Amino acid sequence: MEPTQQITTGTRLDPWIDAYAARTQGLTTSQVRALFAVASRPEVVSLAGGMPFVSALPLDALADTVARLIRDRGAVALQYGSGQGDVTLREQILDVMEPVGIRAHPDDIVITAGSQMALDLVVRVFCDPGDVVLVEAPTYITALSVFSSYQCEVVHVPMDDQGMRPEALREAIASVKASGKRAKLVYTIPSFHNPAGVTQGPARRAEVLEVVRSSGLLMLEDDPYGLLGFDDSVPRAIRADESEGVVYLGTFSKTIAAGLRVGWAVAPHGVREKLVLANETATLCPSNFAQLTISEYLATQPWFDQVKVFRDVYRERRDALLESLSSLMPAGTTWTVPGGGFYSWVTLPHGLDATAMLPRAVAAMVAYVPGTGFYADGQGRHNLRLSYCYPEPDRIREGVRRLAGVIKDELEIADIFGSPEAVAGREGPAAPEPNLA
Amino acid sequence: MEPTQQITTGTRLDPWIDAYAARTQGLTTSQVRALFAVASRPEVVSLAGGMPFVSALPLDALADTVARLIRDRGAVALQYGSGQGDVTLREQILDVMEPVGIRAHPDDIVITAGSQMALDLVVRVFCDPGDVVLVEAPTYITALSVFSSYQCEVVHVPMDDQGMRPEALREAIASVKASGKRAKLVYTIPSFHNPAGVTQGPARRAEVLEVVRSSGLLMLEDDPYGLLGFDDSVPRAIRADESEGVVYLGTFSKTIAAGLRVGWAVAPHGVREKLVLANETATLCPSNFAQLTISEYLATQPWFDQVKVFRDVYRERRDALLESLSSLMPAGTTWTVPGGGFYSWVTLPHGLDATAMLPRAVAAMVAYVPGTGFYADGQGRHNLRLSYCYPEPDRIREGVRRLAGVIKDELEIADIFGSPEAVAGREGPAAPEPNLA
């Protein structure tokens, strides 16, 4: 056999490797993806995924709603629709946004295939390669994928337990401008942050907004969890106080069902026109089938009562998580206390590395998302995200018990062989200040 | 009042105008969009839109299918799913592609929010700004939007009544390479072409494939209409004879329902991996709700019998169109004779301009799409696309009667004042050779 043949044997060569666009360099498979395939086995307690607990929905009522829709308006529900989205649903979205304080016109809304698509389109419309997007440290993992796929540079802004720090944002923007780069967007998740689990109070929101206003940048406010506050109060959206400088992203994934893939953007007039054209280019139109299902559901079901059901479900699970963290975690472990949403952000003690620890956690039948995925710059080694949205409370407690055991084992090893920090010889940048539980 | 104020008064200024990405220059509102708003009035016969006639679907059966799905598997149907798409539906898609001769593995398939999204993702994965895409002349209007939004350069390849001409394709590729530009994709719609209404025979497909193979380019085969042939034969897909060099795009929009927004790509291994990552970045995952609805429908309903129902519906409408064109159109007007699909491509007599004529057609209560929209380079002034998919046969005949009257009036004006061609002083490039009816 020829040597060249030996080299190629068993290697799956991609003949198109030289043909891909430069932007595909940002399209990489997550290192932990293979591990998550293992972690999806039922015996593993997954505190990793952010799946809403859709089993809490009234399935019989929803089934009747969809069946009636197809029988009575099938010719519309099964047809192409408007690139901007169904006008009746856009009117109903105004009601859905009333609790967060947003007043708008149906024309201001663009409906998309999930709010992920809206995020993708906003970046498509605004960002040339090399443009800078400022984001919280840490931030939503798949937002980073979008910024990367449009070849943006990401600058992380430190957080505290009130979210993004205004002074740090001001300095980061000044630093970007001084470097000659072009900043375009400030991407923020002010309510029940993914993954940090913190929420900006009203004063903090005003301060951050003022910094963004004075910088001339566009704010992209991502608000998937705004209605899921556990004390039944709803944080006022930043968009409620600034209509020209903010694009607001909303979704039905957490208040109705993620499987419908319906989200929306609220955008200033000129931006909205561009988003509609970009939406038509990307998908022709959002699904009438999914949109009209939601529209019927909103019109005929007590949708806000169902949001309260979800709040109760997630509050109970958040409590199970926090109680078991408090009673089981070794000293030095800290975590944020979420007032709503799906996540708590954990900082490991003594420089333990959450990515290195993950295989051992999965072997112990518990899964989480390591912190590094939520940063574009290598921060987060000592952090991990715990999701309490999907498992039942008893499973959450069992998962934390297993995780605490893994951390204790890691600490013992570090005691014997020296801390990984000492071995690695470097301290990671500061993670957001946790609320100590 | 200051002159500068007069200039800006009444103008809706966009404060973000300087912030948009360069690619938004390709995002422009169609000139005819405003006219189509008028044309959507019920008294206008629209031969413009490509809407499938979804009222031919068995709505009661579909309603039962969806209701059962939500009751029995709601926790899955309403949840996030895989970025590649539901594995059972991917297996069923293999059966759906059996008539076009494609043999593949479920792993080769990526399900997307309509095949438009798959088209967008393929271009996202392959094309840097300035890369060249070769397409038929004319081609699908919203494919041009995708190429434009990724800042591709489009090169049109002349067609005849067998579709793209292989020698012309070879010359175009050589010309692109000689110019120092980088060609990436050959985008083609070999079956029941939109808008040209022609179909490549087997020998022509083999010739085109051979040219693409020898060029080292990727072929992007778009096949929304392949199962909708009027003589009950199904053209064999090019992908059936070449698995490594072709990405094939399929859709349920014309065989089931466009409002579900479910399409797919079949791609070589390395390309498929990139498409899954790009799909996750753009939308997280395709809708489980829509995918599982289709999966249930395919599993429990006689879906191929329904395709035959659609064929019968569209054949009758195609016949109504062709008969009325033959009996009513003034001499010198020519059109293609589609063997399937939704469209016929018309060439106007004596240099009449289809874009200029459109307002008069709409005033006469008939609408079409002017030919220029199907080209990136200004061709198509003397052409228009007629769709027979949506209106009932009697409405189609009435629409053609109105359109023939408009064309006759235009010809009379040209006789009196001289042909618009003579006035404009230039002849447009050759349109595809029509089959004379």
ipTM: 0.93
Calculate how close chain B gets to A151, using CA atoms only, in Å. 11
* Yes or no, beta carbons of A146 and B16 under 8 Å apart: no
Confidence of residue B28 (pLDDT cuts 50, 70, 90): confident
* Yes or no, beta carbons of A67 and B66 under 8 Å apart: yes
Calculate how close chain A gets to B50, using CA atoms only, in Å. 9
Closest CB to A281 among B21, B70, B120: B120
| CATH architecture assigned to B27-55+306-424 | Alpha-Beta Complex (3.90)
| CATH architecture assigned to A28-55+306-424 | Alpha-Beta Complex (3.90)
Question: How far apart are the C-alpha atoms of A50 and B236, rounded to whole Å?
Answer: 43
Greatest mean pLDDT among A30-44, B27-41, B275-289 lies in: B275-289
Contact in structure between A23 and A149 (CB atoms under 8 Å): yes
Which among A59, A69, A254 is the top mutation candidate for probing chain B, defined by the most B β-carbons within 10 Å of its own β-carbon? A59
Calculate how close chain A gets to B194, using CA atoms only, in Å. 15
Q: Are strands B183-188 and B163-164 parallel, antiparallel or unpaired?
A: unpaired
pLDDT-wise least confident of A75-79, A353-357, B172-176, B421-425: B421-425
Query: Mean of the pLDDT values across residues A303-323?
Result: 98
Question: How far apart are the C-alpha atoms of A96 and A74, rounded to whole Å?
Answer: 25
Asked whether residue A95 carries a pLDDT value surpassing 50, the answer given is yes
pLDDT tens by residue, B197-225: 999 999 999 999 999 999 999 999 999 99
Asked whether residue A68 carries a pLDDT value surpassing 90, the answer given is yes
Calculate how close chain B gets to A289, using CA atoms only, in Å. 5
User: CB within 8 A of A109, min separation 6: which ones?
Assistant: A84, A85, A90, A93, A94, A264, A265, A266, A272
Q: Looking at chain A, which residue has its C-alpha nearest residue B29? A: A277
Query: Mean of the pLDDT values across residues A397-405?
Result: 98
Contact list, B287 vs chain A (CB under 8 Å)? 113, 259-261, 287, 290
Closest CB to A71 among B29, B60, B68: B60
Contact list, A62 vs chain B (CB under 8 Å)? 70, 74, 78
* Yes or no, beta carbons of A261 and B268 under 8 Å apart: no
Calculate how close chain A gets to B49, using CA atoms only, in Å. 10
Residue B23 is given by DSSP the state G
Confidence of residue A432 (pLDDT cuts 50, 70, 90): low
Q: What is the pLDDT of residue A313?
A: 98
Contact list, A69 vs chain B (CB under 8 Å)? 63
Q: Which of A245, A227, A432, A253 is nearest to A346 (CA)?
A: A432
* Yes or no, beta carbons of B75 and A52 under 8 Å apart: no
Closest CB to B27 among A78, A277, A286: A277
HEC string of chain A?
Answer: CCHHHHHHCCCCCCCCCCCCCHHHHHCCCCCCHHHHHHHCCCCCEECCCCCCCHHHCCHHHHHHHHHHHHHHHHHHHCCCCCCCCCHHHHHHHHHHHHHHCCCCCHHHEEEECCHHHHHHHHHHHHCCCCCEEEEEECCCHHHHHHHHHCCCEEEEEEEECCEECHHHHHHHHHHHHHCCCCEEEEEECCCCCCCCCCCCCHHHHHHHHHHHHHHCCEEEEECCCCCCECCCCCCCCHHHHCCCCEEEEEECHHHHHHHHCCEEEECCHHHHHHHHHHHHHHHCCCCHHHHHHHHHHHHHCCHHHHHHHHHHHHHHHHHHHHHHHHHHCCCCCEECCCCECCEEEEECHHHCCHHHHHHHHHHCCEECEEHHHHCCCCCCCCEEEEECCCCCHHHHHHHHHHHHHHHHHHHHHHHHHCCHHHHHCCCCCCCCCCCCC
Calculate how close chain A gets to B360, using CA atoms only, in Å. 25
| CATH architecture assigned to B73-300 | 3-Layer(aba) Sandwich (3.40)
Query: Mean of the pLDDT values across residues A137-152?
Result: 96
Residue A272 half-sphere exposure toward CB, CA atoms < 13 A: 22
Query: Mean of the pLDDT values across residues B88-104?
Result: 98
* Yes or no, beta carbons of A12 and B57 under 8 Å apart: no
Q: What is the pLDDT of residue A109?
A: 98
Contact list, B149 vs chain A (CB under 8 Å)? 124, 278, 281
Q: What is the pLDDT of residue B5?
A: 36
Question: How far apart are the C-alpha atoms of A46 and A390, rounded to whole Å?
Answer: 8
Q: Looking at chain A, which residue has its C-alpha nearest residue B288? A: A259
Q: Which of B185, B161, B160 is nearest to B172 (CA)?
A: B185
Which among B78, B219, B256, B295 is the top mutation candidate for probing chain A, defined by the most A β-carbons within 10 Å of its own β-carbon? B78
Contact list, A67 vs chain B (CB under 8 Å)? 63-64, 66-67
Six token digits for residue B323: 């008969």
* Yes or no, beta carbons of A19 and B258 under 8 Å apart: no
* Yes or no, beta carbons of A261 and B287 under 8 Å apart: yes
Confidence of residue B436 (pLDDT cuts 50, 70, 90): very low
**Residue found by looking up tokens 């995020």 in the block:** A119
Six token digits for residue A175: 């630093």
SS3 at position B168: helix
Gap between the terminal Cα atoms of chain B: 63
Question: How far apart are the C-alpha atoms of B89 and B86, rounded to whole Å?
Answer: 5
Q: What is the pLDDT of residue A31?
A: 59
Share of chain B above pLDDT 70, in %: 91
Distance of CA A146 to the CA centre of its chain: 12
Six token digits for residue B314: 């569209």
Contact in structure between A370 and A196 (CB atoms under 8 Å): no
Calculate how close chain B gets to A397, using CA atoms only, in Å. 23
E strand or H helix that includes residue B345 = strand B343-347
Contact list, B283 vs chain A (CB under 8 Å)? 113-114, 116-117, 120, 261
Question: How far apart are the C-alpha atoms of A187 and A179, rounded to whole Å?
Answer: 20
Asked whether residue A8 carries a pLDDT value surpassing 50, the answer given is no
Contact list, A74 vs chain B (CB under 8 Å)? 54-55, 57, 59, 62-63
Contact list, A107 vs chain B (CB under 8 Å)? none
Q: Which of B33, B39, B37, B31 is nearest to B363 (CA)?
A: B39
Confidence of residue A419 (pLDDT cuts 50, 70, 90): low
Class of A59-300 per CATH?
alpha beta
Contact in structure between B132 and B182 (CB atoms under 8 Å): yes
Residue B222: φ, ψ to 5°:
-100, 120
Calculate how close chain A gets to B412, using CA atoms only, in Å. 38
Contact list, B293 vs chain A (CB under 8 Å)? 289
Calculate how close chain B gets to A251, using CA atoms only, in Å. 12
Q: Looking at chain B, which residue has its C-alpha nearest residue A254? A: B79
Contact in structure between B199 and B191 (CB atoms under 8 Å): yes
Closest CB to B269 among A12, A66, A218: A12
Which among A284, A295, A310 is the top mutation candidate for probing chain B, defined by the most B β-carbons within 10 Å of its own β-carbon? A284
Which among A84, A287, A294, A296 is the top mutation candidate for probing chain B, defined by the most B β-carbons within 10 Å of its own β-carbon? A287
Contact list, A269 vs chain B (CB under 8 Å)? 12, 14
Asked whether residue B432 carries a pLDDT value surpassing 90, the answer given is no
Q: What is the pLDDT of residue A36?
A: 72
Calculate how close chain B gets to A361, using CA atoms only, in Å. 24
Q: What is the pLDDT of residue A41?
A: 87
The phi-psi region of residue A9 (left if phi > 0; otherwise alpha if psi is between -120 and 50; otherwise beta) is beta
The beta-strand segments (E) located in B293-336 are: 334-335
Indicate the average pLDDT of chain A: 92
Share of chain A above pLDDT 70, in %: 91
Q: What is the pLDDT of residue B194?
A: 97
Contact in structure between B429 and B156 (CB atoms under 8 Å): no
Calculate how close chain A gets to B398, using CA atoms only, in Å. 23
User: CB within 8 A of B45, min separation 6: which ones?
Assistant: B365, B366, B367, B391, B395, B396, B398, B399, B402
Question: How far apart are the C-alpha atoms of B182 and B110, rounded to whole Å?
Answer: 27
Cα Rg of chain B (Å, integer): 23
Q: What is the pLDDT of residue A10?
A: 40
Angle between helices B269-283 and B115-126 (to 10 degrees): 110
pLDDT-wise least confident of A13-17, A26-30, B227-231: A26-30
* Yes or no, beta carbons of B15 and A268 under 8 Å apart: yes
Confidence of residue A34 (pLDDT cuts 50, 70, 90): low
* Yes or no, beta carbons of A68 and B70 under 8 Å apart: no
Question: How far apart are the C-alpha atoms of B261 and A83, rounded to whole Å?
Answer: 12
E strand or H helix that includes residue B357 = helix B354-363
Calculate how close chain A gets to B60, using CA atoms only, in Å. 6
User: CB within 8 A of B99, min separation 6: which ones?
Assistant: B226, B227, B234
Which among B12, B30, B70 is the top mutation candidate for probing chain A, defined by the most A β-carbons within 10 Å of its own β-carbon? B70
Question: How far apart are the C-alpha atoms of A274 and A184, rounded to whole Å?
Answer: 16
Gap between the terminal Cα atoms of chain A: 65
Closest CB to A113 among B64, B70, B283: B283
Question: How far apart are the C-alpha atoms of B15 and A271, rounded to whole Å?
Answer: 9
Domain boundaries defined on chain B? 27-55+306-424, 73-300
pLDDT-wise least confident of A41-45, A59-63, A400-404: A41-45
Question: How far apart are the C-alpha atoms of A275 and A220, rounded to whole Å?
Answer: 13
Q: What is the pLDDT of residue B418?
A: 74
Q: How far is CA B379 from CA A62, B139, B257, in A?
A: 50, 11, 32
Contact in structure between B171 and B401 (CB atoms under 8 Å): no
Beta-carbon contacts below 8 Å between A and B = 254
Asked whether residue B132 carries a pLDDT value surpassing 90, the answer given is yes
Confidence of residue A373 (pLDDT cuts 50, 70, 90): very high
Confidence of residue A316 (pLDDT cuts 50, 70, 90): very high
Contact list, A59 vs chain B (CB under 8 Å)? 70-71, 74
Residue B57 half-sphere exposure toward CB, CA atoms < 13 A: 31
* Yes or no, beta carbons of B62 and A75 under 8 Å apart: no
E strand or H helix that includes residue B416 = helix B393-417
Within 10 A of B275 (CB to CB), how many other CB atoms are there? 24
Asked whether residue B428 carries a pLDDT value surpassing 60, the answer given is no
